[in-house]
Amino acid sequence: MFGLTSQLRRAAVSISSNIVEGCSRSSEAEYLRFLEIAYGSAKEVEYQIGLSYRLGFLGSPAHNDLASRASETAKVLNGLIKALRRQAPPA
């Protein structure tokens, strides 16, 4: 349980950290790359929440709330990534 808790925390912190780091970059391509990393971390969090539930570490109400929040975070990031890709000039 300690290992899963630690990994879940690291992945959750990674989401916002990568968004902030991407914002500080000089190009939109770099920003997009960091958003993609943040999206990957969001999907990792989704998986780890599900795994925590299946292992019995989370009850149903907590699982439902956390899973919903993680899913919404991933959807918002994915939408932002798609929007930036549509407006980006061809390479």
Q: What angle do CA 32, 76, 24 make, to 5 degrees?
A: 35
State the distance between the two ends of the chain, measured CA to CA, in whole angstroms: 45
What pLDDT was estimated at residue 90?
65
- The DSSP symbol for 25 reads S
What pLDDT was estimated at residue 35?
97
Per-residue pLDDT of 29-68, as tens digits, reads: 999 999 999 999 999 999 999 999 999 999 999 999 999 9
Distance (Å, rounded) from C-alpha 87 to C-alpha 31?
14
What pLDDT was estimated at residue 91?
60
